[in-house]
Amino acid sequence: MLDNMPLGTICIEDLEVGMVRHLRKEVTDRDIELFAEVSTDRNPVHLDDDYAMDTIFEGRIAHGMLTAGLISAVIGEQLPGHGTIYLGQSLKFLAPVRPGDVVLAEVEVMEIDYGKRRVRLDTRCLVDGKPVLKGEATVLAPTKKFD
């Protein structure tokens, strides 16, 4: 299930502090399996029910970077959108995401340097209103002007 706000690129000239965009996605077993295949991270805490039951999580969890990838999707598709270049990202994982959880990934504009086309973004993911990931991203936003 994806619940996206309207897609589109917002150029640096049209960005404003406080702008927010989000997506909502249910993390499925298939998502976890595909992420394990693509990333080659086959830690059994993600893939093996019996193994995961004996961990501090008491069950399987999604890869943290799978959850973080939802932030990348919001940045690359919505805010600022197509043409955005990631320069950096900090992340703190606050709680596990489990198969079947619906993750709300949100990005908010915190600071804009119009001259350098750099934008600082607050990034967060929530499950049932509770934060599971938080961080900050710095991106190079697209521009209407051609260099």
The domain segmentation of the chain, as residue ranges, is 2-27+62-140
The whole-number pLDDT of residue 80 equals 97
What pTM was computed for the model?
Answer: 0.91
% of the chain beyond a pLDDT of 90: 91
Is 147's pLDDT higher than 60? no
Topology of domain 2-27+62-140 in CATH is Thiol Ester Dehydrase; Chain A (3.10.129)
Give 38's contacts (C-beta < 8 A, 6+ positions apart): none
Average pLDDT, the chain: 94
Q: Which structure tokens are listed for 116?
A: 């350098």
Gap between the Cα atoms of 32 and 18, Å rounded: 32
pLDDT digits (tens, 9 = 90+) for 19-74: 999 999 999 999 999 999 999 999 999 999 999 999 999 999 999 999 999 999 99
The token pair that represents 120 in the structure block: 């600082």
Determine the pLDDT at residue 100: 98
pLDDT on residue 4? 44
Pair of tokens at residue 91: 């992340």
110-127: average pLDDT: 97
